[in-house]
């Protein structure tokens, strides 16, 4: 009975969201697709009762979460939500200070060309080490600071660190390889990333091919036109651009021919062996092999990430993916360790100044 009432009410509301507008004497219908979000809290249970102000605040918190969820419009409050909010506030309010205190460090994960076993590049990955020594990993804090918009501040910090690092290695006459940096989806709304990067190139005067920008597959799918503007902007400066996490979301094969991407990074999901049935593993391998083949024909370089074993690495080389990144070769390492790594390993990059 309850469900029926809810369904009817929702249907009525959705029906009324086909807004009718009159534009230049013509009637137009705007399908507004409104989403109704509700938060619910229980005021009184067997052993507990809460006051009205707390009830409203709890329900409001549940409503906010419903708003952020794609497939939920009604969320029931529970106490773990308070813990989540506390953590979010702790992270977002302390971010700028943490950057100033030097708690954020850029780590580097080498990319290897397997037929020559040379290092051809590295990916810059952020690490947050709290004063007590323990690490907080990006998956824990990046979604939160993306929501607050502070990801721009953090990414700009990473970009500057990487430019400064490359500039120093070049001025010390030491070998260096191109470094890729991640671009958050929030930058899509703020195209000022382009002038910021331009100012870094002007300040540090590093060769443009030393920098690669990784944009995730979902960024390209969500807003293809803006993504194209970003790619063109990076290319105009001479930098390279890759499509990160390829294959992790919806298919974007058609985008590959439309967007001038230099590199695709195949997501580690293709290599996941544990808990995957044998015939699905085989399917993944067929897909990965076709994608690598297609990339070659489109003259796009392909790189596989998440390579953890020699067997995976050999298989990928066999099907034509010679550029690989993963724990098998090296975990992301601190800048000092990365310098030792590239000082002692064969590098494949002719630095043309
Ligand atoms: P991502 O860009 O896909 O980066 C690759 C992630 O896979 C990294 O996780 C890396 O440590 C991990 N990884 C590398 N090799 C292996 C492997 O062999 N096996 C497994 N299981 N994992 C491997 P990390 O550093 O925790 O970063 C997670 C995500 O956070 C990144 O995914 C990226 O989306 C984001 N991220 C990291 N640093 C930054 C940053 O500076 N800016 C932005 N906007 N996002 C960042
Ligand atoms: Ca990446
Ligand atoms: Ca990735």
Q: Encoding tokens for residue 264?
A: 């695709």
Residue nearest to atom 42 of ligand 1 (CA): 182
- Give 313-352 pLDDT, tens digit per residue: 999 999 999 899 999 999 999 999 999 999 987 776 644 3
Closest among 243, 312, 305 to 276, alpha carbons compared: 312
Please, what is the Cα angle at 241 between 235 and 247, to 5 degrees?
145
- Give 215-248 pLDDT, tens digit per residue: 998 888 888 888 999 999 999 999 999 999 998 8
Ligand 1 atom closest to residue 151's alpha carbon, by position in its atom list: 44
Cβ of 126 less than 6 Å from ligand 1: yes
Cβ of 244 less than 6 Å from ligand 1: yes
Residue-by-residue DSSP string for 8-56: HHHHHHHHHTEEEEEETTEEEEEE------EEE--SB-SS-B--HHHHH
Cβ of 81 less than 6 Å from ligand 1: no
3-state secondary structure of 86: helix
Cβ of 137 less than 6 Å from ligand 1: yes
- Give 199-214 pLDDT, tens digit per residue: 999 999 999 999 999 9
Q: How far is CA 76 from CA 15, 40, 101, 188, 203, in A?
A: 25, 5, 39, 33, 52
Cβ of 142 less than 6 Å from ligand 1: yes
Probe residue for ligand 1, chosen from 104, 109, 125 as the CB with the greatest number of ligand atoms within 8 Å: 125
Protein residues near ligand 2, an ion, with CB under 5 A:
182, 214, 244
pTM comes to 0.83
Q: How far is CA 322 from CA 28, 119, 154, 245, 314, in A?
A: 54, 12, 32, 17, 9
Residue nearest to atom 11 of ligand 1 (CA): 332
């Amino acid at each position: 009975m309850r469900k029926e009432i809810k369904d009817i009410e929702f249907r009525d509301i959705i029906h009324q969201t086909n807004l009718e507008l009159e534009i230049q004497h013509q009637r137009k219908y705007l399908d507004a697709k409104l989403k109704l979000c509700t938060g619910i809290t229980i005021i009184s249970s067997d052993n507990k009762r809460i006051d009205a102000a707390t009830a409203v605040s709890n329900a409001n918190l549940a409503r906010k979460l419903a708003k952020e969820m794609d497939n939920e419009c009604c969320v029931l409050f529970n106490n773990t939500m308070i813990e989540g909010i506390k953590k979010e506030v702790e992270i977002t309010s302390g971010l700028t200070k943490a950057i100033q205190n030097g708690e954020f460090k850029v780590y580097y994960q080498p990319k290897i060309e397997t037929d020559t076993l040379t290092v051809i590049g590295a990916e810059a990955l952020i690490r947050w080490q709290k004063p007590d020594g323990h690490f907080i990993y990006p998956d824990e804090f990046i979604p939160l600071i993306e929501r607050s918009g502070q990801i721009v501040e953090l990414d700009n910090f990473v970009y500057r660190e990487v430019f400064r690092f490359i500039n120093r290695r070049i001025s010390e006459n030491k070998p260096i390889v191109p470094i890729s940096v991640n671009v958050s989806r929030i930058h899509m709304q703020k195209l000022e990333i382009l002038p910021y990067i331009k100012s870094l190139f002007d300040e540090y005067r590093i060769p443009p091919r030393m920098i690669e920008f990784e944009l995730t597959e979902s960024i390209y799918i969500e807003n293809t036109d803006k993504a194209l503007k970003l790619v063109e902007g990076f290319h105009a400066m001479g930098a390279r651009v890759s499509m990160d996490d390829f294959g992790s979301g919806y298919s974007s094969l058609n985008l590959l021919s439309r967007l001038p991407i230099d590199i695709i990074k195949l997501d580690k999901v293709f290599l996941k062996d544990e808990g995957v049935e044998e015939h699905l593993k085989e399917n993944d391998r067929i897909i990965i092999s076709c994608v690598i083949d297609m990339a070659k024909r489109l003259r796009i370089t392909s790189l596989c990430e998440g390579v953890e074993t020699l067997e995976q690495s050999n298989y990928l080389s066999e099907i034509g993916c010679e550029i690989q990144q993963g724990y098998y070769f090296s975990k992301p390492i601190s800048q000092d360790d990365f310098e030792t790594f590239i000082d002692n390993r064969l590098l494949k990059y002719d630095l043309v100044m």
